[in-house]
Structure 1
């Protein structure tokens, strides 16, 4: 038996970008900064999120840069050929199944534009 489950809590590093595809699907992408438990001086780890359909719309409407979110999803490795070099490139991202909005409206207003994670 194998499992591919990721649970993270972090702050949005950017405002979500939403795309409406010709197929009728909705795609939302943004990244989150997740602090490590070890030392406060450590730099956060960054994860790119891929969110689809109704959850994508919710993210686009309610998540802003600095918002605290919890996510549950699976790790996905995107791969493509670089247009300039022709080399194969890969990038990990998290395909989100569940999104929890953990920032209150008051906190969201005070965090907008903040670069502190």
Structure 2
């Protein structure tokens, strides 16, 4: 028996990137910043999220940069070949099955006003 389940709680790194396909499918992607309890660092870990279907529509409508959310899904890897160098590349992605909107609108607005990120989604 194998098990691939990931559960994370954190803040959206940017507004969701939403794509609508001719087939009617909806895909939503964004990053999630999750603080790791550590004595050495206050830097968050960043996770790439991919959400499909009705859950993607919910994310598109309600998740904004700084929103506190919880996600449950599975870890997968995306593979591609770098066009410039020909090198094989990969990145981990959380394929989200469940999305929980945890923060209040007031909490999200306060977080956006007190924590600034640069354009790369970093603190």
Give structure 2 stretches of 5+ with no counterpart: 118-122
In terms of mean alpha carbon deviation, does 87-96 or 39-48 score higher?
Answer: 39-48
Per-residue deviation, residues 43-87 of structure 1 (Å, max 9, x unmatched):
110001000011001001101111100000000100011111111
Where do 4+ consecutive residues of structure 1 move more than 3 Å? Answer: none
TM-score normalised by length of structure 1? 0.92
Determine if the alignment matches structure 1 residue 70 to structure 2 residue 70: yes
Aligned twin of 1:11: 11
TM-score normalised by length of structure 2? 0.88
- Secondary structure at 1:58 match in 2: helix
Contact between 1:65 and 1:111, CA under 8 Å: does it hold in 2?
no
Specify whether residues 40 and 102 from structure 1 end up closer, same or farther in structure 2 by C-alpha distance, changes over 3 A only: farther
CA–CA distance in 1 between the matches of 2:82 and 2:23?
Answer: 26
CA RMSD of aligned residues (A): 1.6
CA–CA distance in 2 between the matches of 1:31 and 1:80?
Answer: 19
Aligned twin of 1:115: 116
Pairwise CA distance, 1:27: 0.3
Give structure 1 stretches of 5+ with no counterpart: none
